[in-house]
Amino acid sequence: MAVKDLVQFMGSCHSGLYISIRRYFEKLSVPSSYQVNSTVQKDDRFLITASAVTLAVRPFHMIDHIVVSPGPVDVHSAAEQYCLLLLTIPWLLQRLPAVFMPALKHKSIMSPCFQVLLILRDKIFKEMQEMDQLEKHLSPKEIPSVGWALANIMCLAAGSENDFVNSMDCASYVQVVITLAENLLTQFDRVEFMKNEYQDLQGNTETSAARIGAVSYGETSCGSSKMTYMDLLRPVCQRWHLVKLLEIAKTDASFHGTETLPKNDSKYIVKLDLLDIAYFYSYMLRIFSLFNPVVGSFPVLNLLSFTPGYLVDLWGQLENSIFPGNGHFSEDNNVSTSRSSGNKKDGISERKQKQKQINKDGSNKFFNALHKLTGKSQAGVNYTDNYDDPPTTVQLGEESSDFWDVQPLRRGPLGISKDMSCLLHLFCATYSHLLLVLDDIEFYEKQVPFTLEQQRRIASMLNTLVYNSLNQSIGHQNRPLMDSAIRCLHLIYERDCRHRFCPPVLWLSPAKESRLPVAVAARTHEVLSANTKSDDVSAVPSIGSVITTTPHVFPFEERVEMFREFIGMDKVSRKMAGEVTGPGSRSIEIVVRRGHIVEDGFRQLNSLGSRLKSPIHVSFVSECGLPEAGLDYGGLSKEFLTDISKSAFSPEYGLFSQTSTSEGLLVPNAAARYLENGIQMFEFLGRVVGKALYEGILLDYTFSHVFVQKLLGRYSFLDELSTLDPELYRNLMYAKHYEGDIKELCLDFTVTEESFGKHRVIELKPGGKDTSVTNENKMQYVHAMADYKLNRQILPFSNAFYRGLTDLIQPSWLKLFNASEFNQLLSGGNHDIDIDDLRNNTKYTGGYSEGSRTIKLFWEVIEGFEPKERCMLLKFVTSCSRAPLLGFKHLQPSFTIHKVACDSSLWAAIGGQDVERLPSASTCYNTLKLPTYKRSSTMRTKLLYAINSNAGFELS
């Protein structure tokens, strides 16, 4: 009895034992690395340390040594003191010799601590905060006590793979880490931890990382640049850690705690399931992003993305909840199906029955409290707290937009439970990481990790969630979920833009009933863009940000109208600012020689910058050196822009080359850097394209997907290489999936470029010439090669082009469109003409009218043309083969047919002869000069000859 009373007094807060041990441990030195101190000292200090450890753990072993006892032994007071005063010591395990680790991590010590942390967490967290304020006055440079408790527990419980399962209760370990991590993040949110601490990280990475670990406590400084706080959390990034947790969850194993609870030797049972693991790694992602701003959560994402089956398990849980009755996952593919399968009401009823039984049988407050904390793991999870019943099943159909507007997510994060929010955050973060390295063969052909049907469901889920989140005011606590969801949505959408696998109605469906009118949306977007800094990450999303974040929810035609609205508002603002005062004011006068149109345009316009928005009045000088007659009322400037683009974008000029794909799209020529004024010329061409977009002038050229991605501010990944260089893409895929020893291919980390007959060897990484490609680094080689071709090689040219383009077109306007839509905006619509639309918007001059016989013959002949021939006719008249995006009413100047009177002799008419003259065109005024043909056969023959002659005025 005396020994029992003494030991229980030692474990109480009145003895001061743990306070004294804490002060002693804090005086111990810390080694210069994050490894546990392996030195076994044999001096007095070692003996004192051994005695301190023995005293610290002694109250936990009462049951083993006290056989005769009138009642159960209460060790919760000791466990509370142990957690509060010892586990919060900075670098606790690093201060102590390794020989003491088995005692500290023994199950008899860890289990009571886990119980106390779960049951008395509010009390313990409050005392930890008070201790922080008393000891070190919490500041952004210091790790709070709960952070050290998290790190020390993780090192103790998961520091070694061998004793990971045997030394502790895994389910309780996961719950404890979740609890500590949640409190840690809450504290950081409250004090805005490290808000301004790492703004200069890129310039001083090592020093900043050192500040995280070099936290000063009293007289002891844990100062070593190699010793960071994140090193203590390294078990999270080990695959064995995740695999073991998944194995335990899959087998639905139960682990029992120590028999230290009062009354009747009660035992508690806590189950580990997929949701618990999701919470664990969701919080770890946020902590790694916060504490490790340079690398961020990259190590954790790597682990989650490439652990076989884990991502599929996550989606299985989400799919069963969001699309009930439509899941295609078998039990073998799910770690735990009990949480999401079955009737939801039955799950809730079962949980209530279990809770009633617990309250009836257990009078112990610890026992009841523990089940309240972990009861969510016992039955079903209520993923849709705000819905009384699960959403009804809707038959899958591409024409049904209601199916793609996912009902449980129609209120964004406000309409889902905390559990679903956690699963969504982890899934989106993990899958967006994996999408960066998935090639098209894996995505479309092998369909791993998901089938295309599942990909469509994922896309609709994200689309609905993001759109509805942006329509509402979401709190700061939902920021991690929204950031990961937006990133994942963009990656899936961009892949669909290149190779469509989703029906168009999928992207439009969430906004079908609620999107703003075009004019209102455009003005709202402009106001928000003007009032919100681009780097203000704390800005609350709103309806206006839908246009920038998810513009695809608006039909393409409406976004084109928004683009025109933006330009119209810009012209009005320039007029109000005095930049435009009337017709002909502040116009730019240039003189251009026909044979030197690019050089003359570059010399006179390149330095104007945004002033190029003003009207251009062009005077042409013929190749004979004589000024051409005529005044420029807009037609000559249009001709100038089309002619200069025709010359500069031609592969023969050397600035652009064509991709090896069947479309032959334009991409910057790598050899252009050696041309005189090469980079400046790209900047000038960016302004030319910007001027054409600003004035609504179509240019008959199409850029490669990769180049446009750069103009839209987006990075290109491996899967996009097929659109630029299909042969290189096939070769890299061969290397990526090569099953033998890739050393046989004799590759190294270099690429060879040829320019002007000379070869240059470029290293893909430092020392690339001397680094052979092996099976271990072949993935690095594949992505390094793709990165060079897709990003590094064309970056100087795309940056220059972007600078010129954005002098006239705001970047926020460009981001309304994807790459293919940008090309349509530049060069027009489909490869055919709506004849009725063209007829309704055609003007007639020179004596023609809609009822003229020649005009009737013209429309009959046009209707009989092939689509390609109609496009050639349009190019013959307007210099662009595609129709305006919103119809011919937007063609400036309007499509015009001018009468060319041709009198034939009387004898010719009697003999059945028709007019011999060919039609001609004035492309600067979009005018077709049509002779008065009298037969449709003659009309057809003359038109086909003219449009295939590649000439305009000359045919006159």
Is residue 516 within 8 Å of 543, Cβ to Cβ?
A: yes
Q: What is the 3-state secondary structure (H, E, C) of 749-771?
A: CEEEEEECCEEEEEECCCCHHHC
Of 467, 475, 474, 557, the residue nearest 514 (C-alpha): 467
Amino acid at the residue 343 = N
* Dist CA 898 CA 875 (whole Å): 17
CA atoms within 13 A on the CB side of 58: 20
**Based on the number of CB atoms within 10 Å of its own CB, is 360 exposed (0-12), middle (13-18) or buried (19 or more)?**
exposed
Which H or E element spans position 658?
strand 656-658
Name every residue whose Cβ is closer than 8 Å to that of residue 2 and which is 6 or more positions away in sequence. none
- What are the C-alpha distances in Å from 546 to residues 468, 493, 542, 952? 9, 15, 7, 46
871 is annotated as an active-site residue: no
* Dist CA 835 CA 703 (whole Å): 27
Sheet holding 895-900: strands in order across? 842-845, 895-900, 927-931, 920-922
List 920's β-bridge partners, or say none. 929
Residue 313 CB: number of other CB atoms within 10 A?
23
Helical axes 121-135 vs 145-158, angle rounded to 10°: 120
Q: Does residue 293 sit in helix, strand or coil?
A: coil
Is residue 651 within 8 Å of 771, Cβ to Cβ?
A: no
Over the Cα atoms of the chain, what is R_g?
A: 36
* Dist CA 858 CA 92 (whole Å): 90
Is residue 593 within 8 Å of 840, Cβ to Cβ?
A: no
Q: What is the per-residue DSSP string for 680-714?
A: HHHHHHHHHHHHHHHHT------B-HHHHHHHTT-
CA atoms within 13 A on the CB side of 8: 14
Amino acid at the residue 945 = Y
* Dist CA 737 CA 494 (whole Å): 24
**Of the residues 170, 428, 502, 924, which is catalytic?**
924
**Based on the number of CB atoms within 10 Å of its own CB, is 426 exposed (0-12), middle (13-18) or buried (19 or more)?**
buried
- Which positions are catalytic? 924
